[in-house]
Structure 1
Amino acid sequence: MQFQTPLLPARLLRRYKRFLADMVLEDGREVTAHCPNPGAMTGLAAPGARCWLESAAPGRKLPYGWRLVELPDGHRACVDTTLPNRVVAEALASGAIAGLEGLTDIRPEFTLAPGTRVDFAATGADGQRVLIEVKSVTLLRDGWAEFPDSVTARGTKHLQELTIAAATGARAIMLYLISRSDGARLRIAADIDPSYARAFDAARAGGVEVLAIGSRVSPQGVHIGAAIPVDPGPQA
């Protein structure tokens, strides 16, 4: 996924009220940018961090949106939680994800039942229904990319819905996109959300496939990377 306009470098002054961040552009101007990330953003919002902003579309309340942050070791992370679905949508359409080639009739934001949606529904090469939920992973601790970075009742509900779908014969997939360039393996952050960890174990035992995919993150765009291993043991 390419960014539509060139990103502007800036320095983070502070993040506040979950969706707002004060930045200093290279020309010295101070601006308030939209922060499209409701999570804890652990390790991604240190004052002084080098960031990249995208100019907002005309009519938006704030002039910039925060897209990337540079990490202390030179790696980068995508902080915009709306972008991973676009990255995955392009990869599904082009067959770039191993094991998910040849999907047809790919539908985003598919309604399974009233009040129940999945990020993507598609038809597999064998005619089987394929359901995919996508989560963006930005937390890294002790060499592990971890999800979630804060309690997510909504994420737990998604796992439960996939488990039900798998029991009815659908191919149900939980896809974790590692939205930083230094994530090489994935596990669940059970200390942050024990309920999510229990739901994850139940989903995997119930036939839900778990995929973790790396990404290439640069000021030009965010692109799908290679599959990375998932901790095979119980997570709760």
Structure 2
Amino acid sequence: MPEPLVTYDEPLESGTFRERRNRFSLAASVDGENRPVYLRNSGGLETVLRPGREMLLRRVDDADRKTDFDAIAVDVDGTWVTLDSTLPNAVFEACVAGGRLPQFDGYDVVRAEPALPDAGRSDFLLDGPDGDAYVEVKSNTYVVDGVSKFPDRPTERGRRHLRSLTDLARDVTECHVVFVIQRPDADRLHPFREVDPEFADLLGTAAEAGVEVGAVSTRFDPPAVNLHDPDVPVEFV
């Protein structure tokens, strides 16, 4: 059996989601008491975070923090959905290092957060068979009826990244966008045109310019995050 991509070494505690207090915090019931929880995800998450759903939390003992736990995952109709939007970067890096993605065979990670020529940063710079390759990794938790969609709220940052990668691709620099779906129940991915039509248009333009657009899905078997599907089809609609 393949090695997990990421494993949580600390014990995870069970809680029940109560409410989202703001973009980065929520309340969960733990042992019958409402506790503040840090949510490392600025997405909308409306279809994911619903009162009464079971959560897995990581306790953090830090006197300087206002929250007692980190939100790790939520049970959506029997499927664990991981919530940390930084997790996909670790997933992608582990996949490349372990040769888990055929489309990145022969590639090595040079560094994280490389500067882009026109300002801003991408997620990774790879050394590939043809030289430098820039990669932007997108965290995604939205799935309805097998269709994953991104973004679940308008994203100016995402649009800016697409414009930068499109310009690079037109200058014959290899570029990739990789959507990491943080759950296993997606059989395809669409841009979420109803939420951010400009992002949807820019994604299609990027692909036409030569940016490689792909998606993978993960499966959370607590405490391990595993690769589920290394090549989820992306449909431009």
TM over 0.5: yes
> In 1, are the aligned partners of 2:114 and 2:125 still within 8 Å (CA)?
yes
- Distance across 2 between alignment mates of 1:59 and 1:84: 28
What aligned pairs does 1:13-92 form with structure 2 within 5 A after superposition?
13-25=18-30, 27-56=31-60, 58-61=62-65, 62-72=67-77, 74-92=78-96
> In 1, are the aligned partners of 2:73 and 2:80 still within 8 Å (CA)?
yes
- Distance across 2 between alignment mates of 1:87 and 1:213: 10
Paired positions, count: 230
> In 1, are the aligned partners of 2:109 and 2:124 still within 8 Å (CA)?
no
| 2:190 maps to amino acid | R
1:93-150 per-residue CA deviation (whole Å, 9 max, x = no partner) reads 11211110221352111112363211000111x2421111000111113431000000
Q: CA deviation at 1:84?
A: 0.9
DSSP 3-state at the match of 2:122 = strand
From 100, 107, 114, give the equivalent of 1:103: 107
> In 1, are the aligned partners of 2:96 and 2:109 still within 8 Å (CA)?
no
From 172, 189, 212, give the equivalent of 2:215: 212
- Distance across 1 between alignment mates of 2:69 and 2:23: 15
5+ unaligned residues in a row in structure 1: which ranges?
none
What aligned pairs does 1:141-180 form with structure 2 within 5 A after superposition?
141-180=144-183
- Tell me the TM-score normalised to structure 2 length: 0.92
- Quick check: 1:230 aligned with 2:234? yes
1:6-53 per-residue CA deviation (whole Å, 9 max, x = no partner) reads 21111011111111111111x323211001111110211111110000
| 1:40 maps to amino acid | G
| 1:64 maps to amino acid | F
> In 2, are the aligned partners of 1:215 and 1:223 still within 8 Å (CA)?
yes
Q: CA deviation at 1:221?
A: 2.4
Q: Which residue of 2 aligns with 1:117?
A: 121
Q: CA deviation at 1:230?
A: 1.2
Q: Percent identity among equivalent residues?
A: 29
Q: Cα distance 1:59–1:172, how it changes in 2: closer, same or farther (>3 A)?
A: farther
Q: Cα distance 1:28–1:105, how it changes in 2: closer, same or farther (>3 A)?
A: closer
DSSP 3-state at the match of 2:96 = helix
Greater Cα offset, 192-201 or 97-106: 97-106
| 2:196 maps to amino acid | D
> In 2, are the aligned partners of 1:184 and 1:214 still within 8 Å (CA)?
no
- Distance across 2 between alignment mates of 1:28 and 1:102: 51
Q: CA deviation at 1:182?
A: 0.9
- Distance across 2 between alignment mates of 1:67 and 1:43: 16
Q: Cα distance 1:9–1:93, how it changes in 2: closer, same or farther (>3 A)?
A: same
- Distance across 1 between alignment mates of 2:163 and 2:178: 14
- Distance across 2 between alignment mates of 1:141 and 1:217: 18
Q: CA deviation at 1:213?
A: 0.4
Q: Please give the root-mean-square deviation of Cα atoms over the aligned residues, in Å.
A: 1.5
